[in-house]
Structure 1
Amino acid sequence: MNRLAAFLSLVLLCPILLPRPAWAADVAARAVTIPTPEHPVEAQLFSAPGTGKRPAVILLHGRQGLDRFPGYYEQFARAVAGAGMDAYLLSYYDGTEKEQANAEDKTVRQAFFAGRVKAWSQLVHAVVTEALARKECSGSIGLLGFSQGGFLATAVAGQDPRITALAVFYGGIPGLYRDSITHLPPLLALHGDADTVVPLSEGQALVALGRKLGQPAELAVFPGAGHGFSKGPDAAKAQQLTLAFLRQYLLPARQ
């Protein structure tokens, strides 16, 4: 068993290893405007408690956008901040992009993503630059992507060496990048084995690529889970594993 797998197994056996997060009442969010090549991006910044330097994690939503599951995304961002890492929660859509990304025809949706993933990647690169420029940033950056956002996070991490850790919920490798990614940071992929939207094979391929490129990469499989486990025991376990993984690679001195 590799070091990452052993650590995550230990976390599940001994959850006390992960400090209790400062939940909603303790973590404040504030709006920040970030300049990007295409248009300014409005983000919510959930700052970790304290005044010392800390890493940042950028959360990337799924195809349905932030407003489909706002409570889930905000709760996750607060949990990240409570675990000692600043969390940026933003929408990478502009104008009518949400409607186009959610077209009824799957082929149309896939073509739209393929046509926009490079521009969205540049937007996320700009957010990374902004996060790193803040005086409170330690210099470590994590990406946390959900579904379409997981594919986008993989695209960004595969092109941007500044990314320190990558966590992907039910995502995979974007088609445009399957043959061009030559680097990935340490990776945690989380996937349900009953997912009919993004098959488990996509997560398996992503982890295989991470290992091929010489980085720690682990796949957490949720038996019987479909696409998007945002409630119940699976959601709690997934969040626990993700926070432990991010802390391991973004806050190594504090483990």
Structure 2
Amino acid sequence: MLGACALALLLPAPAAMPAAARAETAARAQPSQIHRDVVYRTVDDVELRLDVYRSPTADEGPAPVVVYFHGGGWARGQRPESWKGFSPFLGAGFSVVAVQYRLSGQARAPAAVQDVRCAIHWIGSKAAEYGFDPDRIVAYGTSAGGHLALMAAYLPQDSAIDVPECRGAPRVAAVLDFYGPADLTRIVPEGSPRHPTVARWVGDYPGAAAMDAAMSPARHVGENTPPTLIVHGDRDKVVPIAQSFLLLEALQGAGVASELLTVPGGGHGKFDTAARAEIVDRALAFLRAQGLAD
């Protein structure tokens, strides 16, 4: 059960569905088409790829899009190999795009942020081809991917961080930030001048502190920041929940529609089945409230 900054809902057990209804629900939760390993950007001879899982209702008109960025401390991890973890979004009428980005061993900050911004640009440029609705793009990420989802959404369209060929991307309509760092200058372990994971991604050089600040989503919050749902375990020892509290404070101060769902006893993800189910329900309800989901 979720708590803290949002009222937790106790959901009744669903009644048994007839077989025909079950089949229809299952069909809605599967992609109508799958496009794997699509190259969206080539940089320094590295081809960056993404997977597209088209909405089951894509033939009915342009579909909203969930863009997913994986976690791994900006240093490891990869996009999911299957669409099945995204089935609730597909069932709600979304297409899903899962994105590869450069890790710290390939290129330091702001490379990953430039990549995810280019992925948003690619979605806008390919909207007609894939049936995307560029006005209904949701950036979603876990851990470092949550941070990148925030950066993809919070930077202005004329940001100097963007590379020239990816400027003018569509505006992200909402963000689902699952336990992502919000201010890299304030996620400092006791007795250390900088967080080692941040230092590995940004680098250790004169002026690195300024890059830490520039790569901090909370510092880019303003009145035009898109609505944001934050999810965080209250016993997270990797990214302290204080990071999400300070992000929520910044969002509320700017008048941005926002909500923080806390998971009592939850660590860095790996929430139990009941909590995961409720988080999905609440995330879809948040997106519906913004007019982004069926």
TM range (shorter): 0.7 to 0.9
- Answer whether contact 1:30 1:46 (CA < 8 A) is retained: yes
Give the structure 2 partner of residue 65 of structure 1: 77
Task: Supply the distance in 2 between the matched residues of 1:241 and 1:113 (Cα, whole angstroms).
Answer: 35
Q: Which moved further from structure 2: 128-137 or 82-91?
A: 128-137
Task: Find the residue that maps to 2:35 and give its secondary structure.
Answer: strand
AA matched with 2:219: D
Task: List aligned pairs for 1:1-255, cutoff 5 A.
Answer: 13=11, 22=26, 26-27=30-31, 28-31=33-36, 33-36=38-41, 38=43, 40-50=47-57, 51-52=59-60, 53-63=62-72, 64-66=76-78, 70=81, 74-93=83-102, 97=103, 100=105, 114-130=109-125, 132-134=127-129, 136-138=131-133, 139-160=135-156, 162-175=171-184, 176=214, 177=216, 178-182=218-222, 183-229=224-270, 231-251=272-292, 254=294
CA-CA distance at 1:124 after TM superposition? 3.1
CA-CA distance at 1:117 after TM superposition? 4.1
Task: Supply the distance in 1 between the matched residues of 2:124 and 2:39 (Cα, whole angstroms).
Answer: 10
Provide the aligned C-alpha RMSD in A: 3.2
- Answer whether contact 1:117 1:152 (CA < 8 A) is retained: yes
Q: Which moved further from structure 2: 114-123 or 83-92?
A: 114-123
Task: Supply the distance in 1 between the matched residues of 2:282 and 2:35 (Cα, whole angstroms).
Answer: 26
AA matched with 1:81: L
CA-CA distance at 1:227 after TM superposition? 0.2
Provide the identity percentage: 26
Please list every run of 5 or more consecutive structure 2 residues that lacks an aligned counterpart in the other structure. Answer: 15-20, 158-170, 185-213
Q: Could you tell me the TM-score, scaled by structure 2's length?
A: 0.66
Please list every run of 5 or more consecutive structure 1 residues that lacks an aligned counterpart in the other structure. Answer: 102-111
Q: Could you tell me the TM-score, scaled by structure 1's length?
A: 0.75
CA-CA distance at 1:122 after TM superposition? 3.3
CA-CA distance at 1:114 after TM superposition? 4.0
Task: Supply the distance in 1 between the matched residues of 2:225 and 2:88 (Cα, whole angstroms).
Answer: 25
Task: Find the residue that maps to 1:66 and give its secondary structure.
Answer: coil
CA-CA distance at 1:80 after TM superposition? 1.1
- Answer whether contact 1:48 1:85 (CA < 8 A) is retained: yes
CA-CA distance at 1:186 after TM superposition? 0.8
**Greater percentage in helix:** 1
AA matched with 2:85: F
Task: Supply the distance in 2 between the matched residues of 1:208 and 1:25 (Cα, whole angstroms).
Answer: 35
- Answer whether contact 2:28 2:56 (CA < 8 A) is retained: no
AA matched with 2:77: G
Q: Which moved further from structure 2: 207-216 or 141-150?
A: 207-216
AA matched with 1:83: A
**Deviation readout 1:8-34 (Å, 9 max, x if unpaired):** 856x54797xx9854697334222624
Give the structure 1 partner of residue 196 of structure 2: none
**Deviation readout 1:152-173 (Å, 9 max, x if unpaired):** 1111111156111101101132
Runs of 4+ aligned structure 1 residues displaced above 6 Å come to: none
**Deviation readout 1:124-151 (Å, 9 max, x if unpaired):** 3333424545462232110111100111
Q: In 2 relative to 1, CA 131–197 (structure 1 residues): closer, same or farther, beyond 3 Å?
A: farther
- Answer whether contact 1:23 1:79 (CA < 8 A) is retained: no
AA matched with 1:66: Q
- Answer whether contact 2:28 2:90 (CA < 8 A) is retained: no
